[in-house]
């Protein structure tokens, strides 16, 4: 085991199967716990509201009980019964919007950090931020609620750092790269259920500080686990795919890439220069596929995010009493837990459809089929996101159940399909940087979330119908993959004919 510590293998075959499985399990565990826990915002807000955080913005009633927040006023041994107001909802929506934007905004820096500084350094940064975030949350009191800003922001940025660092763990299994990446991409959604434990801790009488200290300690274990991970990166094979029959094609593609690199070194003709430009990072970034992928990721993710923003006010409108509202809030957490059962769905669909489409094909045509295998999973994501968001327009309890079923499906599937698409459609060497740039661009557009919230406060139905229309337009991404000629021409520089 000492040979595993703090080293960089030259290729994935230098790593034993036990070592690779251990690293993958580390990635799975960290994804479940931390990579998207900020998206469990409704459960966190429910606890904060019930205990008077930002209650000074509303009318409140003091009742007997014990607060989980150890304030410094005379009311510190009493709990505050939340009566609610739009000003408090707006404050929580603003914090959540900032966190969602900052979740992905540093993505370009995280991608370049992974590319230049390496996996270990990036993971250490993520672990320190996550630990510090929970320590800041522990300082929240009724009199000092603004520590929520710093704590939530650190947890948000750290979550994306850990998520992006873990995505390359799919390279541990070259013959099952897309399926492995789909699993580790999608399972991050389960982490949104982490804050459900806060609601249970409250019911058991645990103090807010003690719960935050426990979370901070567990998050610090990321630093220990980093000792077992390669220092620079997980070695990858360019062009490896899930279908074992394509091993030889992958090898041919690697030979072709070596030839292109040699031409770049020795100097080539005009036609060769054009080919070199086709495999540049900018060529991948400004391609139609990538631009549509950015839009598709943005509209589906912001649809899920806006749903979370309105969830508390929605269930309070439907619920007849506080107990029923708490029940619906816990259902939201359970839906995020049940995401784990749908995490394998995208990878399973991709593998089955790929195997069917690749029958009798080889070379570029086989890889075109592999990319087109993502069409059905992408359509599934768009449809479930649209149904989920539509439920916000309905004031019926059954709509809550339907929306949460859709959430359990599309939350892991969105990135569980989007990330394998980026890995298969573009050169592997572009993956970390391209993913970071995508995340940063998506986060800038996510700034529109707060503007949408304010718009919806005054014109609810027009604001919601606009998002529904944009969700439906997201189908343009999977449908453009039906054009075999475009996909084939796009992949020729990566794979042989």
Residue 210 confidence (pLDDT) above 70: yes
| Other beta carbons within 10 Å of 462 | 10
> Between 477 and 6, where is the model more confident?
477
Task: Give dist(CA 252, CA 371) in Å, integer.
Answer: 19
- On average, the pLDDT of the chain sits at 80
Share of the chain above pLDDT 70, in %: 84
Of the spans 153-167, 269-283, 321-335, 444-458, which averages the highest pLDDT?
Answer: 153-167
- 27-60 confidence digits (pLDDT tens): 888 988 888 888 888 878 878 887 778 888 876 5
Judged by average pLDDT, the poorest of 190-199, 204-213, 251-260, 356-365 is 251-260
Alpha-carbon distance of 313 to 315, in angstroms, equals 6
Binning pLDDT at 50, 70 and 90, where does residue 143 land? confident
DSSP string computed for 207-266: -HHHHHHHHHHHHHHHHHHGGGS-SS-----TT--S-GGGHHHHHHHHHHHHHHHHHHHH
Nearest CA to 478 out of 332, 324, 293 is that of 293
pLDDT in tens, 301-312: 889 888 988 888
The confidence score (pLDDT) of residue 437 equals 86
Is the confidence at residue 152, as pLDDT, over 90? yes
Q: How far is CA 272 from the centre of its chain?
A: 38
Residue 12's pLDDT is: 74
- DSSP letter at 321 equals S
Tokens 């459960």 sit at which residue?
43
How confident is the model over 182-204, as a mean pLDDT?
77
pLDDT for residue 296 is more than 50? yes
pLDDT of residue 47: 82
Helix (H) or strand (E) holding 311: helix 288-318
> 355-397, pLDDT tens digit by residue?
899 888 877 888 899 899 999 999 999 999 999 999 999 999 9
At residue 254, the pLDDT reads 42
- Tell me, what's the pLDDT at 158? 92
User: How do residues 433-476 score in pLDDT, each as one tens digit?
Assistant: 888 888 888 877 877 877 888 899 889 999 999 999 999 999 99
Q: Kindly tell me the sign of the dihedral angle through the C-alpha atoms of 10, 12, 18, 23.
A: positive
pLDDT tens, 348-357?
Answer: 888 889 889 9
Of 105, 153, 169, residue with least CA distance to 438? 105
Whole-number Å distance between alpha carbons of 215 and 264: 50
Distance CA 148, CA 92 (A): 10
pLDDT band at 292 (very low <50, low <70, confident <90, very high): very high
Position 56 scores a pLDDT of: 82
- The helix-helix angle for 208-225 and 196-203 (nearest 10°) equals 140
Q: How confident is the model at residue 241 (pLDDT cuts 50, 70, 90)?
A: very low
2-11, 92-101, 360-369, 409-418 — which is least confidently predicted?
2-11
Which is more confident, 366 or 12? 366
**Closest to 432 in 3D by CA, of 127, 181, 98:** 181
Q: From CA 319, how far away is CA 160, in angstroms rounded?
A: 34
Is 423's pLDDT higher than 70?
yes
Higher pLDDT, 47 or 149: 149
Residue-level pLDDT at 155: 94
- Cα separations in angstroms, 195 against 133, 191, 312: 14, 8, 15
pLDDT tens digits, 106-130: 888 888 888 888 888 999 999 999 9
Check residue 1 and give its pLDDT. Answer: 54
Provide the pairing of β-strand 79-82 with 60-63.
antiparallel
To the question of pTM greater than 0.85 for the whole model, the response is no
pLDDT higher than 70, residue 75: no
């Amino acid at each position: 085991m000492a040979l595993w510590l703090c080293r960089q293998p030259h290729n994935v075959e230098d790593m034993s199967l036990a070592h690779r499985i251990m690293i993958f399990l580390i990635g799975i565990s960290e994804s479940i716990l931390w990579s998207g826990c900020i998206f469990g915002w409704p459960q966190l807000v429910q606890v904060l509201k019930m205990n008077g955080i930002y209650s000074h913005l509303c009318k409140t009633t003091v009742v007997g009980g014990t607060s989980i927040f150890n304030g410094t006023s005379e009311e510190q041994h009493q709990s505050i019964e939340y009566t609610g107001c739009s000003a408090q909802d707006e404050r929580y929506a603003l914090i959540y919007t900032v966190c969602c934007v900052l979740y992905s905004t540093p993505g370009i820096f995280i991608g370049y950090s992974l590319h230049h500084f390496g996996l270990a350094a990036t993971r250490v940064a993520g672990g320190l931020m996550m630990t510090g975030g929970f320590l800041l949350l522990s300082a929240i009191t009724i009199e000092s609620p603004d520590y929520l800003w710093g704590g939530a922001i650190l947890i948000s940025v750290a979550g994306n750092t850990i998520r992006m660092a873990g995505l390359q763990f799919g390279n541990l299994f070259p013959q099952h790269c897309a399926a492995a990446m789909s699993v580790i991409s999608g399972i991050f959604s389960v982490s949104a259920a982490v804050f459900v434990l806060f609601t249970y801790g409250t019911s058991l009488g645990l103090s807010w500080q003690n719960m935050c200290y426990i979370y901070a300690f567990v998050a610090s274990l990321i630093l220990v686990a980093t000792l077992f991970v390669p220092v620079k990166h997980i070695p990858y094979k360019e062009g490896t795919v899930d279908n074992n029959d394509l091993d030889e094609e992958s090898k041919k593609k690697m030979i072709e890439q070596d030839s292109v690199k040699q031409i770049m070194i020795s100097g080539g003709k005009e036609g060769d220069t054009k080919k070199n430009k086709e495999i540049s990072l900018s060529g991948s970034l400004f391609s139609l596929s990538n631009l549509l992928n950015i839009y598709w990721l943005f509209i589906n993710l912001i649809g899920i995010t806006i749903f979370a923003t309105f969830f508390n006010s929605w269930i309070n409108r439907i619920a007849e009493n506080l107990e029923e509202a708490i029940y619906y809030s816990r259902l939201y957490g359970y839906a995020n837990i049940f995401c784990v059962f749908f995490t394998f769905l995208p990878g399973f669909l991709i593998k089955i459809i790929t195997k069917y489409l690749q029958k009798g094909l080889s070379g570029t045509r086989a890889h075109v089929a592999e990319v087109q295998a993502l069409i059905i999973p992408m359509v599934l994501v768009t449809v479930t996101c649209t149904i989920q968001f539509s439920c916000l327009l309905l004031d019926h309890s059954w709509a809550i159940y339907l929306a949460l079923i859709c959430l359990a499906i599309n939350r892991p599937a969105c990135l569980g399909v989007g990330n394998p698409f980026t890995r298969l459609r573009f050169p592997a060497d572009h993956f970390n940087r391209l993913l970071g740039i995508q995340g940063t661009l998506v986060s800038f557009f996510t700034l529109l979330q707060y503007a949408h919230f304010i718009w919806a406060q005054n014109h609810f139905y027009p604001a919601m119908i606009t998002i529904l229309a944009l969700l439906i337009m997201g189908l343009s991404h999977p449908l453009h993959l039906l054009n075999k000629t475009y996909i084939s021409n796009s992949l020729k520089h990566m794979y042989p004919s």
